[in-house]
Amino acid sequence: MSDLFRIKIVYSQSHTIGPKIIFGILIIFSIILLIQAIMKAKKENRPLLSLKHKHFFIENYDRVKLLGTGILLILYIMTMNLLGFIPAGILFISLFNVLYKGSREIKSILISIGIATIETMLIWFIFGYMFGVTLP
Amino acid sequence: MIEFGILEGVIALLGVVIGIIFGALPGMTATMAIAIFLPLTYAYDLTTSVYLLLGLYVGGISGGLVPAILMNIPGTPSSVTTGFDGHPMAMKGEGVRALRIGITASLFGGILSLVVLALFTPVLARLAIKFSAVEKFLIILFAMTVIAALSKGKMTKGIFTGFLGVFISLMGVFPDNQTLRLVPSMFSMELRDGFQLLPVLIGLFAFSQLFQEAEKGMKQTMMHTDILKGDQSKKFSFKDFKGQFINMLRSGSIGTFMGILPGIGGSAASLLAYSQCKTFSKDPEKLGTGAVEGLVASESANNGLTGGALVPLLSLGIPGDSTTAVLIGAFILQGIQVGPLFITQNPVIWNTILFALLIANIFMFIVMFYPIKYIAKIINIPKNKLYPGIVLLCVVGAFSTRSGNMVDVFTLVIFGLVGYIFSKLDLPVTTFLIGFILGRDLEKYFIDSLKGSGGHLSVFFSRPIGLAVWVLILASLAYAFYDNRKHHKETRV
Amino acid sequence: MKKVLVLFMVVLLAATSLAGCKKEETTTFDGKNVRVVIGSTSTTGDSYMIADMAMRYLSKALNANTKVDAVGAGPAFETLAKADPDGNTIMMFHDMTYLGISFGAFDEQYGLENMVIGPRIGLNPGGCFAASADAPYDDMKEMADYLAANPDEIVRAAVEAGGVSHIGFISYYEWVVEAYGQDVADRIVVVVGGSTAEKSQMLWDGNTDIIFADYSSLLQYTEEGVEDQLKMKFVALLDKIDGTDIPTFADLGVTLNGAPFAFSKEFIIYLPKETPQAFVDELDQAALEISKDQAFIDDMAKQKYKVAYLPSADTKTHIMAKRDSLDALIKAAPSLDVLTVQ
């Protein structure tokens, strides 16, 4: 009987105990969530899965900016490894600024580059140079 | 018997200012600031080092409230709860007021913990070692009840994502037997230690916001423009603290006590204080929508940590949190052992530490209270200029989490996406984060308790302090369920 | 005005991208920024302390800019495996470098064979076992005697898995099996513990009877005036520490492959695979130089660490022989699955 309330710890397997318990709890709660969803659907008299009026993205979402953000982020991180912190920072922070500004005028692009340069150099100076934080 | 002079004063001020900068930047923490300045203290004597390091400590813990309130990006893990009420206030145009309330509450928490440190250190240290794995497990569990308290009306979802956070936090090597679990073998080296807290935190808050704003086209500033123009918003006044004294005392004490317990992270302090604030609140519905109460609870608790974490450090030689763990190094470098004999053998240093902590708290208040209205202007910068800068800062912060590891920068992007998708599916992000923060400790103390008892689960009910914590846990849960029910009924009507 | 601005930007961009590309290939540390990774994330442990002190002096001798990064064991191995052999990245670490692989915690690809072994800089002889001051034995031989005399008693030992403390424990265990028999050895149980702070708390809380830790970190708890609940005593050292009369494993009669057992952590500089010999020679030269510096020796002695220069060629043969002899011990000893059963 008392063995019911006992979890035997075998050293080489002790790393699996935590994840197993949490996984169990997760399954229980997903079942509860599912049941709740079914009950709600029944009450409101509609099918459980209706994707008709559901959209993942908001209406008129800004496709360019959203996708651009994702792509730029990944490129930025990869470039940082190759070029180092300062060149990659100036290049991509300028691109982010241009992307979000959405204007193609030379003047606004130049301002973007200016802001990016100042920001990057400032951070590099304070952290990389003065405080000696390891930068890429 | 205190060592203090103009030089020490300047150094302390410098420490506080730099600490605030580190605390305020997402991804940089008080721990990091102290670790960076530690080698410098070689050149100073112990007194000067104490002023510098304690200045960094207090500043670093306090600075976290600035981005939490202004941008809903916690600057440090322990200011997660600050944003719950601070950011809604800022959105209503009360940024400066929220910041000043937070700073004042921080000062109160800091001073309270200092008094505790000065008067009760030996007693509390003896109490702290009575808390073994069982009690620590239960306290972490208690802190997790905040999940239930936070997810009003969405209890099941909240608990589900909370445990999902716990599950994700368990990825990586289990320290006891050095065995990897839950990590795909192709990333076995990169994710050996799992995902790091800071990049996950910034990813969930800052980067998911970035994606959401990009989706909306980055048009306005953070505040609604109409509020920006009209300036009828409430100003800060000390009257804001009317009726908050008990709250501050309770939250500050919770923070201090969490600091005293070695091995329980600082974020548990503000989480517990916040959930208890809700339990005792007269109108709990307002919490999370910009209530002064919640802000006060969070900030007085996380500054309460500072003095608390020094209790076991100075009287047992055991650090109370990760920041004080680095502080030990400063003492060792100077050839001084902190431990059971420290206070009796070094009365002058002991008094100096208390005084330095006091000075640091006062400097923190002065340095932040007045200039904050200029910093609060950040919120008026158009989003399309603000976010690129945030990206840059977050990347630097994430990269320096473990002194240069690209995995941490990718973590940022991954959890940015996770947060973004969660918000689309109407799943709460904060409960996921809380699970992630507490997950590792929860498992560690659970396994440690079982190791000590030969696997018998009855061990969790075998100790008097433990039973008292059980009562608190059940009371908290019962209240949260009641609240959840009430919320359901209200929304249905 | 606009043109000036554009010009300024262009110059700035060019300058910064140049700054990023100026990595010339030279086979000297002279004038370089050298990143020193260590296998621990703590900035208070011996790994960081010794690396920090050594680099303080070594950077002057090499005329290089060194920066110690406490990245932890896994990331440190990974960094070294991926780094270019250009003298910009090195690792300084103790015996965990090969023990981690011998105990199976790390992959073979991070083995000693896949890195260049540089000079040994210093030693930390401070590994020790400590017990509560009121324990009924004063050293680990008496502990075994005590267990032999009291067949109902057990002793729990808090050690870390896969590290120096693990080695210390199994060598003692094997010795007890031989000298006292399996029955006594079976009553010495392992409790896997974490940091020194955690293990100390376990001792105070009565969850373990002896703990493994660093001598200097526990010294203060053994002094006069410490209250009873916290007071500890040393019961054995892994190696001789100058100025102490605590029995060492060798004094107790513990042996390894027939020779008296002694174990100090050796702090060695490791370089990426295929690093040119010129770098190694330069390091040898500089390490020899600082090993004669009295200020360095004093700094290290303050923490009970020893300066112990050994040229890279000798270090290589020495450390590989040490690894092979310990491998035999690790293979012979029972696994922690057996040792942890109460």
Q: What is the mean pLDDT of residues B41-53?
A: 86
Quote the minimal CA–CA distance from A10 to chain C in Å.
6
pLDDT digits (tens, 9 = 90+) for B317-337: 888 888 888 888 788 777 778
Q: Quick check: helix, strand or coil at residue C39?
A: coil
C18 touching A (Cβ < 8 Å): no
Chain C: residue nearest A110 by CA? C6
Option in A12, A90, A121 nearest C335 (CB): A12
Q: Which residues of B touch A30 (CB under 8 A)?
A: 160
CB contact under 8 A, B391 and A96: yes
Contacts of B466 (CB under 8 A, 6+ apart): B134, B135, B138, B460
Let me know: does A96 contact B387? Beta carbons within 8 Å.
yes
**Would you list the domain boundaries of chain B?**
6-492
* Virtual torsion, Cα B17, B19, B24, B27, nearest 10 deg: 150
Instruction: Report the percent of chain B where pLDDT is more than 90.
Output: 38
What single string gives the DSSP state of each residue in C51-106?
A: HHHHHHHHHHHHT-EEEEEE--HHHHHHHHHHS-SSSSEEEEE-THHHHHHHTTSS
What's the pLDDT at C235?
95
Residue B411 · residue B195 · CB < 8 Å: yes
Q: Which value does ipTM take for this structure?
A: 0.89
The whole-number pLDDT of residue B279 equals 83
**Which pairing describes strands C259-260 and C210-214: parallel, antiparallel, or unpaired?**
unpaired
- Are C44 and B340 an interchain contact pair (Cβ–Cβ within 8 Å)? no
What is the reported pLDDT for C21? 45
Q: Least CB-CB distance to A26: which of B164, B389, B450?
A: B164
Q: Tell me the average pLDDT across B353-379.
A: 91
Query: Where does residue B269 rank: exposed (0-12), middle (13-18), buried (19+ CB within 10 A)?
Result: buried
Which helix (H) or strand (E) covers residue C259, if one does? strand C259-260
From chain C, the residues in CB contact with A113 under 8 A are 9, 13
* Of B38-47, B85-94, B299-308, C318-327, minimum mean pLDDT range: B38-47
Q: Which of C20, C161, C339 shows the shortest C-beta gap to A87? A: C20
Alpha-carbon distance A86 to A135, whole Å? 9
Q: Do B177 and C192 touch (CB under 8 A)?
A: yes
Chain B hits for C303, CB-CB cut-off 8 Å, are 332
Is residue C77 within 8 Å of C39, Cβ to Cβ? yes
C13 — contact with chain A (CB < 8 Å)?
A: yes
Range in B48-62, B382-396, B411-425 with the lowest mean pLDDT: B382-396
Which one of A86, A124, A131 would you mutate to disrupt binding with C, by most C Cβ within 10 Å of its Cβ? A86
For residues A65 and A95, what is the distance between their CA atoms, to the nearest angstrom? 11
Task: Give the whole-angstrom CA distance, residue B379 versus residue C218.
Answer: 51
Tens digit of each residue's pLDDT, chain A (136 residues): 456 677 878 888 888 999 999 999 999 999 998 998 888 888 877 766 655 556 677 767 777 888 888 888 889 988 888 888 888 888 888 888 888 887 777 888 888 888 888 888 888 888 888 777 777 6
CB contacts of C213 in chain B (<8 Å) are: none
Count Cβ atoms within 10 A of the Cβ of residue B134 and give its class: 0-12 exposed, 13-18 middle, 19 or more buried. buried
| Chain-chain contact of A65 with B215 (C-beta, under 8 angstroms) | yes
Q: pLDDT digit string (tens) for A94-109?
A: 888 888 887 777 888 8
Q: Distance between CA atoms of C284 and C35, rounded to whole angstroms?
A: 18
CA distance B302 to B389: 27
State the count of interchain CB pairs (< 8 A) between A and B: 158
Which distant-in-sequence residues (6+ apart) come within 8 Å of B59 by Cβ?
A: B15, B16, B17, B18, B19, B20, B21, B22, B23, B30, B33, B360, B364, B367
**Chain A: nearest CA to C218, how far in angstroms?**
27
**Residues of A whose CB is below 8 A from B211:** 66, 69-70
B290: left (phi over 0), alpha (psi -120 to 50) or beta: left
Contact C337 A9 (CB under 8 A): no
> In the numeric block, which tokens belong to residue B84?
């719950």
Mean pLDDT per segment of 10 residues, for chain C of length 342 residues? 49 49 68 89 82 92 89 86 89 92 85 94 92 94 94 92 87 92 92 85 89 89 88 93 89 85 93 93 94 93 90 95 90 85 70
H-run or E-run covering C233: strand C232-237
Q: What is the pLDDT of residue B424?
A: 87
- Provide the pLDDT for residue C98: 93
Shortest Cα distance, chain B CAs vs residue A105, angstroms:
16
CA separation, residue A38 to residues A41, A127, C263 (Å): 5, 54, 65
Tokens of C139: 């050293």
Encoding tokens for residue B14?
A: 């410098």
Residue C256's beta-bridge partner residues?
C259
B344 at C interface, C-beta within 8 A: yes
Eight-state DSSP code of residue B183: S
**Residue-level pLDDT at A53:** 58
Dump pLDDT digits (tens) for B446-488. 998 888 787 888 889 988 889 999 998 998 888 888 877 777 7
Q: Which domains does chain C have, with CATH numbers?
A: 31-124+264-329 (3.40.190.150), 127-262 (3.40.190.10)
> Do the Cβ atoms of B326 and C205 come within 8 Å?
no
The two tokens of residue C262 are 């002694």
Burial of B250 (0-12, 13-18, 19+ CB in 10 A): middle
